[in-house]
């Protein structure tokens, strides 16, 4: 959520940063107008309360002076003022709630150094590593769906029979490879990141804290009977880990990591490539997360990017890093770097990580603050998140890239410690 005080103080700056996304700024103009009205109402109510307090003191004095008639007149005036105060307070509360609802739909301000653009085609490629389109053999141009069926490690037909389209089932060494990727993603970050295993079902306010609600409710799974939502990413519960709390600055930055299943309805995926494992309703992911001060945010952003990027690099996969343009950012993000791996079988670049700096946008929703060491005052934290390793698409790139001419799959060296001595996957 945007800082209402900043919008009051620098409205043009805030509107310009939101407009860079291609978003309308009319709602912000309405917020400014209603916020001015709301503050006037609060001020008027406060002035009337002060008057009522003075009247109460006068009434007591008049009664002590046996001037009951005058005292009763003042009492009547006090009752009128109290009724007016109630009216003003009710209207002020309604306006405050209206302002909050509108701001819940307004995306974050774009960072100054985020490139401008009108869509994905304007994203900036920062670097491409290990990609040579002529280096892939014919055996690597087979799609993971065909490879998985032949080797018995991927069973999409039975998954669809159980759960419907866009669900997957891994079998045998395919399932072992999933587990290896998860352990690999967690172990390489244990040096600094505390592992958290949060709930995968959360309350509405928890989903709201990250910006997934109310705007993107159609993309999430809701258990209506219990009022709980299936998380689309571990970012959701991790953002609310400190909800309503104040952290000492000495304990920052706070680094967290989590492996969870993630659930997405993909309501807007009609017409997009949903074959195989490229887009799923349920998948596993290792998430990296950080809380920090504003001054620590840039270093923290690049730290998470480096860790996610090195995980892909050490697997020996071709990849590229993108600096997302202003119009392609997620609603909560001020700046995002994407990592995409190249999968030769489907001949596509697949996004496997989005590393985002959210400023205080999420912390403001979750009310997560820190106490500054310099003066003891409290301030909103900044939050950052990124996929340390998103399993399905990395699985796809591995299976297609490491396929051998005989149809087997060689296990990359980085995963060997997690495969129990298995060095390749062959047809059983």
- The residue whose two tokens read 């490539």 is 273
- Give the pLDDT score at 272: 62
| pLDDT above 90 as % of the chain | 93
- Give the pLDDT score at 71: 83
CB atoms within 10 A of CB 202: 20
Q: How many CA atoms lie within 13 A of 115 on its CB side?
A: 17
Check pLDDT > 90 for residue 274: no
**Residue 428: band (very low, low, confident or very high) from pLDDT cuts 50, 70, 90:** confident
Specify the fold of 120-425: BirA Bifunctional Protein; domain 2 (3.30.930)
Q: What would the mean pLDDT of 131-143 be, rounded to a whole number?
A: 98
Q: Tens digits of per-residue pLDDT, 230-252? A: 999 999 999 999 999 999 999 99
Distance CA 168, CA 240 (A): 29
Interacting residues of 141 by C-beta distance below 8 A, sequence separation 6+? 344, 345, 347
Distance CA 298, CA 404 (A): 42
Specify the fold of 4-105: Helix Hairpins (1.10.287)
Q: What would the mean pLDDT of 188-207 be, rounded to a whole number?
A: 98
- The residue whose two tokens read 């959520």 is 1
**Residue 267: band (very low, low, confident or very high) from pLDDT cuts 50, 70, 90:** confident
Contact assessment for residue 317 and residue 293, using Cβ atoms and an 8 Å cutoff: no
- Give the pLDDT score at 204: 98
Identical topology for domains 4-105 and 120-425: no
Max CA distance (Å), the chain: 109
What single string gives the DSSP state of each residue in 196-226?
----SEE-HHHHHHHT-TTTTGGGSEEETTT
Domain limits, the chain: 4-105, 120-425
- Give the pLDDT score at 343: 98
Contact assessment for residue 394 and residue 415, using Cβ atoms and an 8 Å cutoff: no
Q: What are phi and psi of 12, to 5 degrees?
A: -70, -35
Question: What region, left, alpha or beta, does residue 392 occupy, with left being phi > 0 and alpha being psi -120 to 50 degrees?
Answer: alpha
Check pLDDT > 70 for residue 269: no
Check pLDDT > 90 for residue 29: yes
Tokens of 299: 């270093």
Least trusted range by pLDDT, from 263-267, 307-311, 398-402 = 263-267
Q: What would the mean pLDDT of 257-265 be, rounded to a whole number?
A: 98
Interacting residues of 394 by C-beta distance below 8 A, sequence separation 6+? 181, 312, 315, 317, 341, 352
Q: How far apart are the first and last CA of the chain?
A: 53
Which is more confidently placed, 40 or 74? 40
Check pLDDT > 70 for residue 270: no
Check pLDDT > 80 for residue 273: no
- Give the pLDDT score at 215: 92
Interacting residues of 123 by C-beta distance below 8 A, sequence separation 6+? 115, 117, 322, 323, 324, 325, 328, 338
Give the mean pLDDT of the chain.
Answer: 96
Which is more confidently placed, 397 or 56? 397
Q: Tens digits of per-residue pLDDT, 88-104? A: 999 999 999 999 999 99
**Residue 256: band (very low, low, confident or very high) from pLDDT cuts 50, 70, 90:** very high
Check pLDDT > 70 for residue 82: yes
Q: Tens digits of per-residue pLDDT, 373-400? A: 999 999 999 999 999 999 999 999 999 9
**Residue 45: band (very low, low, confident or very high) from pLDDT cuts 50, 70, 90:** very high
- Give the pLDDT score at 197: 98
Burial environment of residue 108 by CB neighbours within 10 A (0 to 12, 13 to 18, 19 or more):
buried
Say what the pTM is.
0.94
Q: What would the mean pLDDT of 285-310 be, rounded to a whole number?
A: 98
What single string gives the DSSP state of each residue in 83-134?
HHHHHHHHHHHHHHHHHHHHHHHSPPPPPTTSPP-SSGGG-EEEEEES--GG
């Amino acid at each position: 959520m945007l800082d209402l005080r900043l919008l009051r103080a620098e409205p043009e700056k805030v509107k310009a940063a939101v407009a860079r996304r291609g978003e309308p700024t009319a709602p912000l103009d309405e917020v400014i107008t209603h916020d001015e009205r709301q503050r006037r109402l609060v001020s008027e109510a406060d002035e009337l309360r002060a008057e009522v307090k003075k009247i109460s003191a006068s009434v007591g004095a008049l009664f002590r002076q046996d001037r009951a008639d005058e005292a009763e007149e003042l009492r009547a005036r006090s009752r009128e003022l109290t009724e007016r105060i109630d009216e003003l307070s009710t209207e002020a509360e309604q306006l405050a709630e209206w302002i909050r609802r509108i701001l819940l739909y307004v995306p974050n301000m774009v960072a100054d150094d985020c490139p401008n653009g009108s869509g994905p085609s304007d994203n900036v490629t920062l670097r491409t590593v290990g990609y040579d389109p002529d280096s892939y053999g014919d055996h690597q141009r087979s799609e993971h769906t065909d490879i998985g069926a032949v080797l018995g490690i991927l069973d999409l037909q039975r998954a669809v029979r159980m759960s419907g389209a866009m669900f997957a089932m891994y079998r045998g060494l395919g399932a072992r490879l999933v587990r290896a990727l998860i352990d690999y993603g967690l172990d390489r970050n244990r040096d600094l990141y505390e592992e958290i295993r949060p709930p995968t079902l959360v309350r509405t306010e928890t989903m709201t804290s990250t910006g997934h609600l109310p705007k993107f409710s159609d993309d999430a799974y809701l258990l209506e009977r219990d009022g709980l939502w299936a998380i689309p990413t571990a970012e959701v519960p991790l953002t609310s880990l400190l909800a309503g709390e104040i952290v000492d600055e000495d304990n920052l930055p706070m680094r967290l990591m989590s492996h969870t299943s993630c659930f997405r309805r993909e309501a807007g995926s009609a017409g997009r490539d949903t074959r195989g494992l490229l887009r799923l309703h349920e998948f596993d992911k290792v998430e990296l997360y950080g809380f920090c001060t504003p001054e620590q945010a840039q270093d923290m952003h690049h730290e998470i990017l480096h860790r996610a990027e090195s995980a892909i690099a050490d697997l020996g996969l071709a990849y590229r890093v993108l600096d997302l343009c202003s119009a392609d950012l997620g609603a909560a993000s001020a700046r995002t770097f994407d990592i995409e791996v190249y999968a030769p079988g489907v001949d596509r670049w697949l996004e496997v990580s989005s590393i985002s700096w959210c400023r205080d946008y999420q912390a403001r929703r979750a009310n997560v603050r820190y106490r500054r060491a310099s003066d003891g005052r409290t301030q909103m934290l900044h939050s950052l998140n990124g996929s340390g390793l998103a399993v399905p698409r990395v699985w796809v790139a591995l299976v297609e890239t490491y396929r051998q001419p005989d149809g087997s799959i060689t296990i990359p060296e980085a995963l060997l410690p997690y495969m129990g001595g298995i060095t390749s996957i062959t047809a059983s």
